[in-house]
């Protein structure tokens, strides 16, 4: 017996799922999916135990190919892994079928009330399966090292639309219900299973891309995301053909807990990207980049998460460099560097979480989440690139993507490939310090550009109107990130009086200023803080704002009061993460 993933009960010695058929009835009144899944194995079972991952599921029955019920035990719930479903599989079985119901508290699902939608008329439900939440929707071998194809059919109210990270292959209406069918022929890790049901409309962006959103938002979304085909072409020129056929986008309700989620064929996006000036399309570049780094080559388990996110940040900034120029890519890298330094402060008590290769037995990846795998991973790759030269490093990337296409990889796989392709390179940059040491090693690559140098001149004080007249949202964001926390009240007051940053349409700028304001005791910003915490469920904004409020005695009660008020609006994952901050303060 071997369990190669510390976050899954999947066992190497047991039958391995190749494909599954999933049928679910979506009931908004009970907030339950009543479902059935058929798991088909790579090879007929030898006979013995199969362990599946589940979380909060009620099992109605398990059957084998002869229609016979199979004995099974649903073990006690582990707070991180969920409940092991142990099934006795007869020798020769090529598949098994499980009937089950999800819990109204399913950790992947948010059942959004009509009032929380734009249209206010219809409910909405969506999934967020990364990191360990697919198991709250489907009993499965929930480890990225077991890729699976699937078919799905969702039975939904006929006035609503279902979408999935899969090819849509038909919709049959019968009175008040409709059945929407999907197929996914490219094998995916379970964390990429994704669906949403709501009042949705779509608009084509290019022959292979359309955006879905609530009807009232679809035009704004199409405008904001108009350059998707340019992004696809730039990415293909850099990383090879796009393997997933379509690249559709779904603009989520505001409570979506992330900026974006790279669900294959259908990236999910926070509506906070719709700033009206296309200033946050780097998030699309990031999710698109995952089509190569992450979705094609997946981390074998969460301990190698930097292979997903570090490579993706690297790929994202390559795409931005092509489309917007090296100066803009350098601004993104500089913001990333500031955020990384903040992460080091937040993780001061757990420096082991600042390594690239982590040990996560007994640790929930959602609670260990930080920008370290993103930005330290990025800096490691840039440092390698600088030491190897751009040409050889590009060749290495191509090799990496080719070697693990539709596979799952570990840090050890990467080390082996680099040793083989560019001998001596790892030693030259002190790779062990990057991979297994805390914080940042000496000799780290740093971004440089004329715009960065201009910004450095304004450090620590409010800029004059003349200095800031050409600043983009990104320059504002970087300038604010680099200000000391706390900063003098006079600086906060002058910034607000001159530039009304609490009202910025760009949420990165707005939240960056609000966090600075909270950390500095600038009370005039609090109404805006309340507004943001009541409007968004994006953890990138919730976490620093709640943290900053909790840190000062005079605002800590407000953090608790706001969380009590808004908790139910947040996705279950965000509820847990923010509750952790409040309880730990």
Contact footprint for ligand BES (CB under 6 A): 130-131, 258-262, 282-283, 286-287, 290, 309, 369, 374, 540
Closest-by-Cβ residue to ligand BES is 259
Choose the catalytic residue: 374, 378, 546, 566. Answer: 374
SS3 (DSSP) at 77: strand
Choose the catalytic residue: 199, 214, 262, 287. Answer: 287
Our answer to whether residue 287 is catalytic in this structure is: yes
- How many angstroms separate the CA atoms of 495 and 513, rounded? 9
What are the two backbone dihedrals, phi and then psi, of residue 500, each rounded to the nearest 5 degrees? 45, 50
Residue keyed to tokens 């605002």: 555
Of ligand BES, Zn ion, none, which one does residue 476 interact with (CB within 5 to 8 Å by kind)? none
Of ligand BES, Zn ion, none, which one does residue 155 interact with (CB within 5 to 8 Å by kind)? none
Side-chain half-sphere exposure of 483, counting CA atoms within 13 A: 27
Instruction: Determine contact, residues 380/388, Cβ cutoff 8 Å.
Output: no
- How many angstroms separate the CA atoms of 221 and 473, rounded? 19
Crossing angle of helices 556-566/572-583, nearest 10°? 160
Instruction: Determine contact, residues 544/511, Cβ cutoff 8 Å.
Output: yes
Q: Tell me how far, at minimum, the Cβ of 378 lies from ligand BES, in Å.
A: 10
CB closer to ligand BES, 279 vs 555? 279
CB closer to ligand BES, 16 vs 540? 540
List the 109-112 sheet strands across, edge first: 109-112, 124-127, 195-198, 161-164
Residue keyed to tokens 């190919």: 65
Of ligand BES, Zn ion, none, which one does residue 17 interact with (CB within 5 to 8 Å by kind)? none
**Largest Cα–Cα distance of the chain, in whole Å?**
78
Of Zn ion, ligand BES, none, which one does residue 258 interact with (CB within 5 to 8 Å by kind)? ligand BES
CB closer to ligand BES, 56 vs 259? 259
Q: Tell me how far, at minimum, the Cβ of 333 lies from ligand BES, in Å.
A: 12
Residue keyed to tokens 């290769």: 357
Q: Tell me how far, at minimum, the Cβ of 258 lies from ligand BES, in Å.
A: 3
Q: Which residues bind Zn ion (CB under 5 A)?
A: 309, 312
CB count, 10 Å around CB of 157?
16
CB closer to ligand BES, 248 vs 309? 309
* DSSP calls for 260-317: EE--TTEEEE-GGG--SS-TTTHHHHHHHHTTTBTTTEEESSGGGHHHHHHHHHHHHH
Our answer to whether residue 374 is catalytic in this structure is: yes
CB closer to Zn ion, 7 vs 40? 7
- How many angstroms separate the CA atoms of 338 and 308, rounded? 21
Q: Tell me how far, at minimum, the Cβ of 529 lies from ligand BES, in Å.
A: 20
Of Zn ion, ligand BES, none, which one does residue 562 interact with (CB within 5 to 8 Å by kind)? none
Specify the DSSP element, H or E, that contains 474: helix 473-482
- How many angstroms separate the CA atoms of 243 and 407, rounded? 14
- How many angstroms separate the CA atoms of 440 and 383, rounded? 11
Q: Tell me how far, at minimum, the Cβ of 287 lies from ligand BES, in Å.
A: 6
Of ligand BES, Zn ion, none, which one does residue 130 interact with (CB within 5 to 8 Å by kind)? ligand BES
Q: Tell me how far, at minimum, the Cβ of 260 lies from ligand BES, in Å.
A: 5
Instruction: Determine contact, residues 158/136, Cβ cutoff 8 Å.
Output: no
Q: Tell me how far, at minimum, the Cβ of 309 lies from Zn ion, in Å.
A: 5
Residue keyed to tokens 């279902």: 162
For residue 58, give every residue at least 6 positions away whose Cβ sits within 8 Å of its Cβ, in sequence order, or none: 100, 101, 103
**Could you write out the three-class secondary structure of 416-457?**
HHHHHHCCCHHHHCCHHHHHHCCCCCCCCCCCCCHHHHHHHC
Residue keyed to tokens 């294959």: 264
CB closer to ligand BES, 39 vs 132? 132
Instruction: Determine contact, residues 264/184, Cβ cutoff 8 Å.
Output: yes
CB closer to Zn ion, 163 vs 284? 284
Of ligand BES, Zn ion, none, which one does residue 445 interact with (CB within 5 to 8 Å by kind)? none
Of ligand BES, Zn ion, none, which one does residue 508 interact with (CB within 5 to 8 Å by kind)? none
- How many angstroms separate the CA atoms of 181 and 169, rounded? 5
Q: Tell me how far, at minimum, the Cβ of 316 lies from Zn ion, in Å.
A: 8
Of ligand BES, Zn ion, none, which one does residue 393 interact with (CB within 5 to 8 Å by kind)? none
Q: Tell me how far, at minimum, the Cβ of 294 lies from ligand BES, in Å.
A: 7
CB closer to Zn ion, 209 vs 295? 295
CB closer to ligand BES, 158 vs 186? 186
Residue keyed to tokens 């706001």: 562
Q: Which residues are catalytic, by number? A: 287, 374
């Amino acid at each position: 017996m071997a369990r190669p993933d510390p976050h899954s009960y999947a066992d190497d010695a047991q039958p391995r799922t190749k494909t599954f058929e999933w049928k679910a009835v979506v009931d908004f009144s009970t907030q339950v999916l009543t479902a059935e899944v058929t798991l088909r194995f790579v090879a007929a079972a030898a006979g013995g135990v199969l362990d599946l991952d589940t979380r909060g599921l009620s099992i109605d029955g398990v059957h084998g190919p002869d229609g016979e019920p199979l004995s099974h035990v649903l073990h006690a719930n582990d707070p991180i892994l969920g409940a092991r479903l142990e099934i006795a599989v007869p020798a020769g079985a090529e598949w098994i079928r499980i009937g089950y119901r999800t819990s109204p508290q399913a950790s992947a699902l948010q059942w959004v009330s009509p009032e929380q939608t734009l249209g206010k008329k219809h409910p909405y439900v969506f999934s967020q399966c990364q990191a360990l939440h697919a198991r709250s929707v489907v009993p499965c071998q929930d480890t990225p090292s077991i890729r699976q194809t699937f078919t799905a059919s969702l039975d939904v109210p006929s006035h609503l639309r279902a979408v999935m990270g899969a090819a849509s292959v038909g919709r049959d209406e019968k009175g008040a219900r409709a059945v929407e069918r999907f197929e996914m022929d490219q094998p995916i890790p379970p964390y990429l299973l994704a669906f949403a049901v709501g009042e949705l409309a779509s608009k084509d962006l290019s022959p292979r891309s359309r955006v879905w959103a609530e009807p009232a938002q679809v035009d704004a979304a199409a405008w904001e995301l108009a350059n998707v085909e340019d992004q696809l072409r730039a990415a293909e020129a850099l990383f090879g053909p796009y393997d997933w056929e379509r690249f559709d986008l779904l603009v989520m309700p505001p409570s979506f807990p992330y900026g974006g989620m790279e669900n294959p064929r259908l990236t999910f996006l926070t509506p906070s990207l719709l700033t009206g000036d296309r200033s946050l399309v780097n998030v699309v570049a990031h999710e698109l980049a995952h089509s190569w780094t992450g979705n094609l080559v997946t981390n074998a388990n969460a301990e190698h998460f930097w292979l997903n996110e570090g490579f993706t940040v690297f790929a994202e900034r390559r795409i931005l460099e092509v489309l917007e120029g090296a100066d803009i890519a350098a601004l993104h890298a500089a913001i990333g560097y500031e955020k990384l330094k903040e992460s080091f402060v937040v993780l001061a008590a757990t420096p082991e979480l600042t390594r690239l290769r982590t040990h996560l037995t007994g640790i929930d990846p959602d609670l260990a989440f930080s920008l370290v795998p993103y930005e330290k991973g990025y800096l490691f790759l840039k440092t390698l690139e600088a030491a190897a030269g751009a040409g050889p490093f590009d060749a290495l990337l191509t090799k990496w993507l080719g070697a693990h296409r539709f596979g799952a990889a570990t840090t050890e796989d990467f080390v082996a490939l680099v040793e083989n392709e560019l001998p001596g390179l790892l030693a030259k940059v002190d790779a062990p310090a990057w991979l297994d040491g805390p914080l940042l090693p000496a000799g780290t690559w740093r971004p440089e550009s004329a715009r960065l140098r201009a910004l450095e001149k304004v450090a620590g004080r409010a800029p004059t109107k003349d200095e800031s007249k050409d600043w983009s949202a990104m320059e504002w964001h970087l300038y604010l990130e680099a200000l000391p926390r706390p900063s003098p009240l006079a600086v906060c007051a002058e910034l607000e009086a001159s530039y009304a940053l609490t009202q910025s349409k760009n949420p990165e700028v707005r939240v960056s200023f609000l966090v600075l304001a909270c950390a500095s005791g600038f009370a005039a910003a609090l109404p805006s803080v309340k507004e943001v915490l009541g409007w968004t469920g994006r953890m990138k904004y919730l976490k620093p704002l709640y943290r900053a409020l909790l840190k000062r005695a005079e605002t800590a009660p407000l953090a608790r009061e706001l969380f009590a008020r808004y908790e139910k609006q947040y996705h279950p994952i965000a509820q847990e993460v923010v509750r952790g901050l409040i309880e730990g303060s």
